Chain A
Amino acid sequence: MTTQPETVSTSDDKGRLATGLGWFSVGLGLAELLAPSAVATLIGIRNRGRSNLLIRLYGIREIGAGIGILAQSRPTGWLWGRVAGDAADLSSLGWALAQGSTDKTRAAIATAAVSGVTALDVLSAKNLSATTQSSGPVRVAKTITIDRPAEDLYQFWHDFGNFPTLLDQLESVHATGANHSHWKLNIAGGRSIEWDSEITEETPNSRIAWRTAPGSHVQHSGSVRFEPATGGRGTVVRVELHYAFPGGATAAKIAKLFGMAPGQHIETALRHLKQLMETGEIAKSDASIHPSLTHPGRPPEKVPQGQMAAGAGA
């Protein structure tokens, strides 16, 4: 399964400020972890015993934040994490300033330095948060290769009533006319959303395109293409969705509504389609049939309804 770049840019554009802060975190963290006494002296703290442990712990936190910022293409969360860490540093320095044994001048300089870095952190985090929420239609694309002829896949896809088999969260899909269907999807918090969909284009064994009927809460249009894979290795299935919201769509809004990242439903459905087409069933493990993924991998007391040998007749 590959995920093509989404229009809500996933390219590495965290910016030089964030990258610089990431390396700063790693450097400072290593110093705190490996030489806590030297760091303590530098910032004017004389009471070594307890503060060394605290400085080491802060070092581990810094290294973690630094790696998080450097490793992710959009490290917004990690940057806000740094801001929280700055707050902890500042309160610790405030405590140190209040102690009699502290070198007040050095601690004050350290406090000023941390305040400056905090400002940079806030700036960088705000910049990234703003670009993450840039508005416009959200495009999601997912691709998978299935070892079956395009005709079989097209036929299965064209019968929308098959879709609840592929996705647990999809409560129902009903045909309401030759090209029209009604969809009901369970979303986060025990709620559901419904919409009407109409087919706008179909090329047998090759492409189906659809869009939501006017008035649907979640406006989207989408298409699926079936292309032969190279060397007779089955069929490449490509799904593309465009979401539009009143007032502008964002990945964050969609994720909030569905309780998962945009396109994750499609990714799961495509994976299940592949399993069903290639093996005749959807793979289930003891953990995966539990309502929550965090449940341990041991046999369940009760198998959830609809999970027993589902999809066998498809």
Chain B
Amino acid sequence: MKAACWMGKQDVRVEQVPDPKILNDRDAIVKVTSTAICGSDLHLYNGFVPSMESGDVLGHEFMGEVVEVGRGVTNLQKGDRVVVPFPIACGGCFSCKHGLFSLCENSNPNASMAEKMWGHSPAGIFGYSHLLGGYAGGQAEYARVPFADVGPIKVPEELSDDQVLFLSDIFPTGYMGAEMCNIQPGDTIAVWGCGPVGQFAMKSAFLLGAERVIGIDRFPERLRMAREKVGAETLNYEEVSILEALKELTGGRGPDACIDAVGMEAHTPGLIGAYDRAKQAMMLETDRPIALREAIMACRNGGVVSVIGVYGGFIDKFPIGSFMNRSLTLRTGQAHVQRYMRPLLERIQRREIDPSFVITHHMPLEDAAEGYAIFKEKQDDCIKIVLKPH
């Protein structure tokens, strides 16, 4: 079959690879009908996630048709149309029983590798480094789905792929980012990063009762989408001082909660940006925590900082003084997607949201290399790319 493979830093190629096979009783094989390139795939693309090997199949946002099931999968049948959650979760361990699916204790075969880096291991993830399991990803014609009796959700025919695909990651991720903010009536939520996850975080903040939402980015097309499709107010950090602008917009108090939907490759003009770029290049810090620092400094006293942008290792100049003295709460996590798929599918069915609004590009899988390149460079107003393998 054809699959988008990571061959090295900023080198993605569509290659011929063997078809996946059932390896365990609870596996299923899915014929991929739609798969998306995620902002977090760019961290792999740019070489900031350790333990990638040349040839790894990419992709953790995908959906398709079940073509084969293992003996242990009784809830799915050949022909079912399913969306697959990006964290692989067994459903039976302590974490899964507590709804913490992205922390499944049993799905990462390379857990000992992750333990060395992070102390404990999270769940395995499709197409996201050997540290997180070494699973082949879904930017391919077919994908093997472990624990298929727990993860995939069947979706009704009347909804298109574009409407339900993002249940695999970015809609639940944005939603969880907003949910962690414990939004109360009258709250103002600020969101760093108006990429697809940021858009869903902003939209979800409204769904969860926020009165005002402020989106922060520098790309005009992303800020426009936040205003026009989500109804957020927007700030361009290349034009204004974010800390001052947020104070002004919130009567001096600061946003009640701040969501970091940026992560490890944050960009900022000026000296701070150069400082973090230099340290990252010299391997003295693995991540550039520019959005995170600003989110902490901006948040109102006693507020919540919710981190859904991806970080990998270690950062410098964490503003612990601001964080501690002002009673802030930090909440984080890879989305526990399995927990959110059903309720969010129902919201889509009730027409409360149509997640397809973030899509700017459709491409055949063959063009994945071009897709990664224009997504990285934000060319052609690119915000979200959906690949079609068949």
A residues neighboring B (CB under 8 Å): 1, 33, 60, 63-64, 145, 147, 233-234, 264, 267-268, 271, 274-275, 278-289, 293-301, 303, 307-309, 312
Contact = CB atoms under 8 A, between A and B. Distances in A.
B22 A286 contact: no
The interface residues of chain B, by DSSP majority, are classed as: loop
Contact of B106 (A275, A287, A289, A309): A275
Interface stretch (B128-136, B217-225, B244-252, B332-340): B128-136
A286 B106 contact: no
Contacts, number: 140
B70 interface: yes
Contacts of B5: 296, 298
B147 A285 contact: no
8 contacts: A267-B112, A275-B106, A279-B106, A281-B26, A287-B135, A293-B130, A297-B127, A298-B136
Interface string B40-74: 00000000000001111100000000000011100
B56 to A, nearest CB: 4
Contacts of B57: 286, 296-299
B282 interface: yes
Contact of A286 (B20, B92, B94, B112): B20
Contact of A283 (B94, B107, B130): B107
A310 to B, nearest CB: 8
B90 interface: yes
Given A296-B56, A298-B17, A278 B106 contact: yes
B93 A284 contact: no
Interface residues of B, number: 49
B94 A299 contact: no
Given A271-B111, A283-B107, A296-B53, A234 B94 contact: yes
B260 interface: no
B144 A299 contact: yes
Contacts of A284: 23-24, 109, 146
B134 A278 contact: no
A279 B147 contact: yes
Interface string B10-29: 00000001111111111000
Contact of A287 (B72, B112, B130, B146): B130
B3 interface: yes
B322 interface: no
Interface string B219-251: 000000000000000000000000000000000
